[in-house]
Structure 1
Amino acid sequence: MAKSSNNVFFFLLLLLHILVLALCCCFSSAAGASSQYSTDFIRASCAATRYPSLCVRSLACYAAAVRRSPRELARFALAVSADRARSAAARVAGLPAVPPRSRSGPVRDCLENMADSVDRLRDAAAELARTGRSGSPAFAWHMSNVRTWCSAALTDETTCLDGVAQATGGKAKLDPAARAAVRREVLAVAQVTSNALALLNRVAPQQ
């Protein structure tokens, strides 16, 4: 009798173990499918940007948090742009290719443009957080402000690129290597900002 009870106990324990493993596998598969679903959403959204491959690379790690929401995707895109603008400004300020005599004039102006760009991207992100309920009367107005701030940030970055490209003479002259180094840093920021603006343009009132 005791032996029979033990057999039943071990059988139930084995059945419970199998059930737990099955549930774990189901949850794991569901999580994986959900993550892939969100990644596919990011890839499809990025197809509408000017630099789709860069868009996917910079935002794929946020797939789980995006939850297939165009507004959330745009929010992360703004955060990526602001972070990269801040990092690029720090790298430009310390580039060994830029001689000390050239850290005024176009380079100084460029750094000021980049600082303005960071501020405007932060303003855009803050305004996006204030859009409130989708479909509300103020939604379109807030979204217009968000796009304006993001567009202004892109203008700052483009102004920086233009100023550095024209620094070919005078005391603030930059040699080709220095111009290329600054351009590489700022262009990378301008590209992610351009992508962020394109993603913002995909946010509809009901989203």
Structure 2
Amino acid sequence: MKKIGFYLLVFVATIRCTTTAPIDFIRASCKTTLHPSLCVRCLSSYAGSIKGSDHHLAKAAVIVSLNEAKLAAAFVSKLARLSGLKPREYQAVKDCISTMTNCVVSLNQSVQELERMGRRTAGQDFEWHMSNVETWVSSALTNQNICSGGFGVDGHVKDVVTKRMVYASQVTSNALALVNRFAVSHKKGSHKP
């Protein structure tokens, strides 16, 4: 009976170690972002696929950013269909739809580029792919900021759009930090595929 209890204890300890290790990796990695608690919250559900890989972490962060950008774009598109918008609000919303469309395209390209990178990308090939990803994620962040800054008139519409874009920008800022972290760790040779 004592043997069974011992093996059960070892089994439970093993499960606990294997399930917390990916979360610990995410927590440690998210400390390099501007919004670490948001970063951990957004990426925790990806822990199983991240498995301590900087590449998988960066890709998951960009996927989270892409999903949030799609939701924000849909939200702004619904706003454009509301009646009662002032002409300047309507134009700002239309401009925001355009910038958010560009944002979604940039993040989608980033995810595809990270997928193409696969397991073994080295040297100039790696740097070229990473340059693309960094540029596109940075562009997405810029578009989100342009969207929230495009409202010259204070009011409810500006407030709700700004709130939504601030959240999207925080998620994208975290993704950019983790993409940059992946690039640095790869150059140092400390990455895991």
What is the aligned counterpart of 1:94 among 73, 78, 82? 78
Residues 1:60 and 2:60 are matched in the alignment: no
Give the aligned partner of residue 105 of structure 1: 91
Give the aligned partner of residue 124 of structure 1: 110
TM-score of the superposed pair, with normalisation by structure 2: 0.84
TM-score of the superposed pair, with normalisation by structure 1: 0.79
Q: 1:99 to 1:77 in 2, by over 3 A?
A: farther
> How far, CA to CA, are the matches of 2:54 and 2:117 in structure 1?
13
Residues 1:152 and 2:131 are matched in the alignment: no
Give the aligned partner of residue 170 of structure 2: 191
Contact residue 43 and residue 56 of structure 1 kept, 8 A: yes
Residue-pair matches, total:
183
Give aligned-pair identity as a percent: 38
Q: 1:176 to 1:104 in 2, by over 3 A?
A: closer
Q: Deviations over 1:156-177 (max 9, x none)?
A: 111111112x2x2xxxxxx522
> How far, CA to CA, are the matches of 1:24 and 1:94 in structure 2?
54
Gaps of 5+ in 2: none
Contact residue 161 and residue 186 of structure 1 kept, 8 A: yes
Q: Give secondary structure in 2 for the equivalent of 1:105.
A: helix
Tell me how large the CA RMSD over aligned residues is. Answer: 2.4
Q: 1:99 to 1:184 in 2, by over 3 A?
A: farther
Give the aligned partner of residue 172 of structure 1: none
Once the two structures are TM-superposed, the CA of residue 94 in structure 1 deviates from its matched residue by 2.5
Report which of the two has the higher share of helix. 2
What is the aligned counterpart of 1:69 among 48, 53, 62? 53
Q: Give secondary structure in 2 for the equivalent of 1:49.
A: coil
